[in-house]
Structure 1
Amino acid sequence: MSIFEWFFERNNPGPTGTVETYHHKLYWPRIWILIAGTAALMAFLFFIYCVPLNHLETFEIGNACLGILFSIAYLVTSYYIYVKPDYNNMGFLGFIDNPFKYTDDVNRFMLFFQALLLPGKIISIPIVNMFSLLFTARKSNN
């Protein structure tokens, strides 16, 4: 943060986005939830299977377990955390830094964090909704 940003926005900062926890419920037909969930689960398992094969000569079971745990933690984080930046305060033309505001830096960082979590959302949301659908169908059959 530069001295100009601190001086001009010290008393009246601009709007910034929000970070929320959110449970993503898909309102799709059941067959599409099953198809999307199966495809996302297969993509995740393919990723888990292929990552250790790239480093087969240095493969250790501890590193593989650590990679799987970090992948699952990333999916859980990206499922529950919803970052929503304020798109009206992103700097000049949406990407050029405004030297007199620090809140546009915060919003651009939130946009970066939102993009970082997007692949995890694409994988985790269909998987969780598929398991939710399967477990509620199983409970209703009993």
Structure 2
Amino acid sequence: MSLYEYWCELDDPQPVGNIEVNTKHVAQQSKWVVFFKLIAASLMTAGLFGVPLYFLPLPVWQSGLVSAGFAMIYIGMAFLFIPHANTDNMGWLGGMVDDPFHISDDWNRALMFYHAVLGPGRFIAGTMLDVACLLGVAKSDPIAVPDEAYQQSMGYSANYSTANATMTELPSEQEELTNSGMSREEVNQQRYGLSSARFLINDDE
């Protein structure tokens, strides 16, 4: 990163990813999938808890408290914040070489890095919520179906339904002429507000 990249970015901005703030979780319904996820998450948690416990130069109980606090903060941040990199702007050669004229590719690579770093914590958090929903301690967020998403976007109430909708067939032009008793020229004048209908076909001529 450099000031030159920053100034070039101001002149020619490139797409950058974002960080999603996540507060929802759709629980896994299969008990067997939750079981295998629980085994994998337990191994991840053991490693996440054991590494700081082993390397911290503190008594065992203090190292345990620090490790537990670190694990809780990491898992919470991994669930709440989900980095999304814009993979169309990763630098030259697919991100292997830095773009010296833009700084946005550095940000996208950083977002991808943090997405990978927070991935295990996000998996552990999701597994914990799956187990809680399976035991009835928590409730899963519903899966938004297209009809519900449409109702939410249009601002319709929850009782909105198209089950009782009816279709009305508009009368044809010939039926309108017959019922009105007017010529086509007069109907077009009334419909379109034309003061002269000389450019329209007149059936009376």
Residues 123 and 9 (structure 1), Cα distance of their counterparts in 2 relative to 1, 3 Å cut = same
State the shift of 1:107 in Å: 0.3
Residues 97 and 27 (structure 1), Cα distance of their counterparts in 2 relative to 1, 3 Å cut = same
CA RMSD of aligned residues (A): 2.9
Question: TM-score with structure 1 length normalisation?
Answer: 0.78
Q: 5 Å matches for 1:7-22?
A: 7-22=7-22
Q: Secondary structure at the match of 1:19?
A: strand
Residues 134 and 104 (structure 1), Cα distance of their counterparts in 2 relative to 1, 3 Å cut = same
Residues 101 and 113 (structure 1), Cα distance of their counterparts in 2 relative to 1, 3 Å cut = same
State the shift of 1:5 in Å: 1.3
State the shift of 1:60 in Å: 3.5
Q: 5 Å matches for 1:63-142?
A: 63-95=63-95, 96-135=97-136
Deviations along 1:18-54, one digit per CA (max 9) or x if unpaired, are: 1012233244423322x03531453255347745774
Quick check: 2:74–2:121 contact (8 Å CA) kept in 1?
A: yes
Counterpart residue type for residue 127 of structure 1: M
Quick check: 2:9–2:101 contact (8 Å CA) kept in 1?
A: yes
Looking at secondary structure, tell me which structure has more helix per residue: 1
Report the more deviating stretch, 117-126 or 92-101.
117-126
Q: 5 Å matches for 1:45-60?
A: 46-47=46-47, 50-51=50-51, 54=54, 59-60=59-60
Counterpart residue type for residue 83 of structure 1: P
In the alignment of these two chains, the number of paired residues is: 137
Counterpart residue type for residue 86 of structure 1: N
In structure 2, what is the equivalent of residue 4 of structure 1? Answer: 4
Residues 88 and 130 (structure 1), Cα distance of their counterparts in 2 relative to 1, 3 Å cut = same
Between the aligned partners of 2:49 and 2:103, the Cα distance in structure 1 is: 43
Structure 1: give runs of 5+ residues left out of the alignment.
138-142
Q: Secondary structure at the match of 2:19?
A: strand
Counterpart residue type for residue 113 of structure 1: Y
Between the aligned partners of 2:56 and 2:107, the Cα distance in structure 1 is: 41
Structure 2: give runs of 5+ residues left out of the alignment.
139-205
Between the aligned partners of 2:59 and 2:81, the Cα distance in structure 1 is: 32
Greater RCO, CA 8 A, separation 6+? 1
In structure 1, what is the equivalent of residue 26 of structure 2? Answer: 25
State the shift of 1:57 in Å: 8.9
Counterpart residue type for residue 70 of structure 2: F
Residues 5 and 49 (structure 1), Cα distance of their counterparts in 2 relative to 1, 3 Å cut = closer
Residues 104 and 55 (structure 1), Cα distance of their counterparts in 2 relative to 1, 3 Å cut = closer
Question: TM-score with structure 2 length normalisation?
Answer: 0.57
Deviations along 1:91-121, one digit per CA (max 9) or x if unpaired, are: 0012210000010011011111111111212
Counterpart residue type for residue 77 of structure 1: M
